[in-house]
Amino acid sequence: MSTQKFCALIEEKLRNKSVPIFLLGLLMIVTTTVHLDQLDPEIMEARNFITANEIVETGNWLVPSLFGELRIAKPPLPTWMTSIVMMIAGTDTNLAVNRIPSAFAGLVLAVAFFGLTRSLTGSTRISMLSTAVLGTSYLYIFMVRRGTWDIHAVAYMTAMIWALDVLLKSKKFRPWLCLVTGVLFGLSFLSKGPVAFYALLLPFLFSELVVNGVMKVQLHWKQLLLVTGYGLVISASWYLVIMIMHPDAMAAMFSQETSAWTSHHIKEWWFYLPQVPAMLGLWAIPAVLVFISPYARPRLQKLIPYNQLLLWTVGIVVLLSVIPEKKVRYLLPVIVPLSMLVGGALDYWLERGFAFAGTKRLFYLYTILGSIVLFAVVGVIWIAGEVSSFPLFMELWPVIVPLLMLVGGTLDYWLERGSAFAGSNRLFYLYTILGSIVLFAAVGVIWIAGEVSSLPIYMELWPVLAVCSCLLLVVLIWLAASCHRPRLLLGCLFTTVALVMVTAPPYVKTVLPYRGTLPIQQVRNLVGKTCENVYSLTSLKLQNQWVFGKPAKRIVADDLASFPVGVHVVVSTDPVSFPEKFTVKEELVARYLKRDPLLIYKVTVTD
């Protein structure tokens, strides 16, 4: 069978609706659920995990607590879900298990997003492309691996907007749909209060009214009133219970939370503007292009409701920007309409075979993007404490930047000529050489990091599978390019993301210094669940205290002399010289989160 017939056969299979939907579902499962335990816990997760564990231990589901103190700053729905999976697993130390609720919310978001896109565009193909963009975007992949509240609020609100859009387009009264819409609104509110209402629903309603007018609202005002009633009842239920049981604490919480909007994490008003396209990661360049209205509107208006989606996206960014408190994860709502815009652009470019009219824009775009990504990655690693000296970056960038320029120039040459290479095999050779360089560079970095001690590492299962998968992907890319099959090429790109997600995370951590699997259970076993006190000679964040399973009291070295008789746990970043009455029973060197290793001592104090 010739390569042309082979590619034609694959594309014919891809046109079958069941095959692309199956592959899309597989892609979403991979990008949502694999390696949930690779990211170290951060402070918001620690609050959720500690509170969820205390719910399990105390049985108090209505009034959550954090180390015994009232914890009502966030609604309890995500914490309840975390408590349930902890009960099923029988432990709170498994990061992958603790993050299952966030992964579930991510899948809910993907399904709801697909349905909403289908309802807005009327195109299954654009819905699939947009969902694939969402599932492979940076912020989505990151947030489904964090046991926090944001992904829950956005997921249920997206599902609510989908149900609302169907309701507004319905020609008859549908009470069950009103109930479902109201319940979804309430679930979003019980996940993170009015955040998703403000940042996602309000801009959608504004864009709907501006673009489509008020006719739908006037025709369905009774249903909308019913939805509002259901939503308010569910949203206010838990808050009313807490207000009755702890009125003073609730008032103090409201005051503290509102003041935090203007006093914590203050950034400039334009903080979000350069970061919006970057939240899509791989799709940052198309995300920039869809914002250029003179270019995008005439090309996309017939495929998607471009004006409404653009207004929705801009509205989200504006509403988030006017609040002084800013964090990158607050941009999660913006990837919903932005992924639809990029999905519509990909559909348009697929129909045109990715023709760029012979320009060199792609080369410059990819070179600039590659440089930005490179600096961003090095910056994140530097901030995380993984790069100890600047010369390491100086050694890497002269190699990486030319490689990025090579890839960008190749893609430009390739797309400019419609993937035609006059029957030559240059693309195959080029990608084989480039793949070999990257492979040897990766092995070299691992070797230098001390992770590879001998050549037989190549006989292990993972490297063999990774190399075979990469070679197979190179062959598929070569076939798709030489046979003018842009859909197959795009499928290879999504496959690359899935392959990286499955294979890369555990090995990236082992290459970097001071990294590895966080020994949560080992630390818990040393500390124990008895009444030992945990004292720290260094500043510990909440996520570290969650690892210990109990709060740590900050002390200085002079305080050791006044320790009472008994068993204690002492934590430090440097070796400790204990007084004579101390006997070290156990000692553990544990990797400190994003810093130097921690020294954990279990000591006995005698008279």
Q: What is the pLDDT of residues 112-147, one digit of tens each?
A: 999 999 999 998 889 988 998 999 888 898 899 888
Report residue 77 CA to chain centroid gap. 20
Higher pLDDT, 178 or 20: 178
Average pLDDT over residues 194-207: 93
Query: What's the rounded Cα separation, in Å, for the pair 106 and 33?
Result: 9
pLDDT at residue 575 greater than cutoff 50: yes
Q: Label the pairing between strands 582-590 and 553-554.
A: unpaired
Average pLDDT over residues 590-601: 67
Average pLDDT over residues 434-459: 46
* HSE, side-chain direction, 13 A CA sphere, residue 457: 13
Please give the pLDDT value at position 573.
80
Higher pLDDT, 490 or 584: 584
Summarize pLDDT for 218-276 with one digit per residue, the tens. 888 889 999 999 999 999 999 898 888 888 888 877 777 676 666 666 778 888 888 88
pLDDT at residue 533 greater than cutoff 80: no
Least confident of 291-305, 332-346, 515-529: 515-529
Structure tokens at 390: 């600047």
Residue whose tokens read 């001592």: 601
Per-residue confidence band for 473, with pLDDT thresholds at 50, 70 and 90: low
Summarize pLDDT for 8-34 with one digit per residue, the tens. 665 565 566 676 788 788 888 888 888
Per-residue confidence band for 401, with pLDDT thresholds at 50, 70 and 90: very low
Query: What's the rounded Cα separation, in Å, for the pair 239 and 496?
Result: 45
Percent of the chain with pLDDT over 90: 26
Structure tokens at 365: 């775009």
CB neighbourhood size of 402 (10 A): 10
Reported for 557-566, long-range contacts at CB under 8 A and 24+ positions apart, including other chains, are 559/535, 563/535, 563/605, 564/605, 565/605, 565/606, 565/607, 566/532, 566/533, 566/604, 566/605
DSSP secondary structure string for all residues of 432-468 = HHHHHHHHHHHHHHHHHTT---SGGGGGSHHHHHHHH
pLDDT at residue 607 greater than cutoff 90: no
Please give the pLDDT value at position 602.
87
pTM of the model: 0.77
Structure tokens at 506: 């555990």
Q: Judge whether 598 and 563 are in contact, CB under 8 Å.
A: no
Least confident of 41-45, 347-351, 529-533: 529-533
Average pLDDT over residues 317-344: 91
Structure tokens at 291: 């914002």
CB neighbourhood size of 360 (10 A): 13
Average pLDDT over residues 61-73: 86
Going by C-alpha positions, the residue among 462, 458, 467, 469 that lies closest to residue 498 is 469
Least confident of 96-105, 368-377, 454-463: 454-463
Least confident of 216-230, 309-323, 580-594: 580-594
pLDDT at residue 403 greater than cutoff 60: no
Higher pLDDT, 308 or 558: 308
Higher pLDDT, 337 or 294: 337
Q: Judge whether 199 and 333 are in contact, CB under 8 Å.
A: yes
Higher pLDDT, 304 or 574: 304
Per-residue confidence band for 392, with pLDDT thresholds at 50, 70 and 90: very low
The total number of residues written for the chain in this structure: 607
Least confident of 11-15, 398-402, 439-443: 398-402
Higher pLDDT, 468 or 202: 202
Helix (H) or strand (E) holding 406: helix 390-416
Least confident of 350-359, 412-421, 432-441, 538-547: 412-421
Sorted by sequence, the CB contacts under 8 Å of residue 17 that are 6+ apart come out as: 124
Query: What's the rounded Cα separation, in Å, for the pair 541 and 554?
Result: 11
Please give the pLDDT value at position 93.
85
Secondary structure class of 265 (helix, strand, coil): coil
Residue 429 — φ and ψ, nearest 5°?
Answer: -65, -40
Going by C-alpha positions, the residue among 480, 470, 493, 415 that lies closest to residue 3 is 480
Structure tokens at 582: 């101390």
Please give the pLDDT value at position 476.
57
What sections of 122-220 are H helices per DSSP? 124-135, 138-143, 150-169, 175-192, 195-196, 202-212, 215-219
Least confident of 74-88, 232-246, 473-487: 473-487
Least confident of 106-110, 251-255, 436-440, 549-553: 436-440
Distances (CA, A) of 435 to 469, 474, 514: 12, 8, 29
Mean pLDDT rounded to a whole number for the chain: 76
Query: What's the rounded Cα separation, in Å, for the pair 197 and 199?
Result: 6
Percent of the chain with pLDDT over 70: 66
pLDDT at residue 360 greater than cutoff 60: no
* Amino acid letter, residue 2: S
The residues facing 587 across adjacent strands are 601
Query: What's the rounded Cα separation, in Å, for the pair 579 and 560?
Result: 7
pLDDT at residue 543 greater than cutoff 80: no
Task: Delimit the domains of the chain by residue range.
Answer: 98-245+284-333, 372-503, 520-605
Distances (CA, A) of 488 to 30, 205, 398, 495: 19, 37, 33, 10
pLDDT at residue 192 greater than cutoff 80: yes
* HSE, side-chain direction, 13 A CA sphere, residue 12: 6
Please give the pLDDT value at position 11.
58
Going by C-alpha positions, the residue among 489, 499, 432 that lies closest to residue 466 is 499
Sorted by sequence, the CB contacts under 8 Å of residue 3 that are 6+ apart come out as: 479, 482, 483
Average pLDDT over residues 573-594: 77
* Helices then strands, each counted (H, E), the chain: 27, 7
Structure tokens at 106: 């991510």
Please give the pLDDT value at position 281.
78
Please give the pLDDT value at position 380.
47
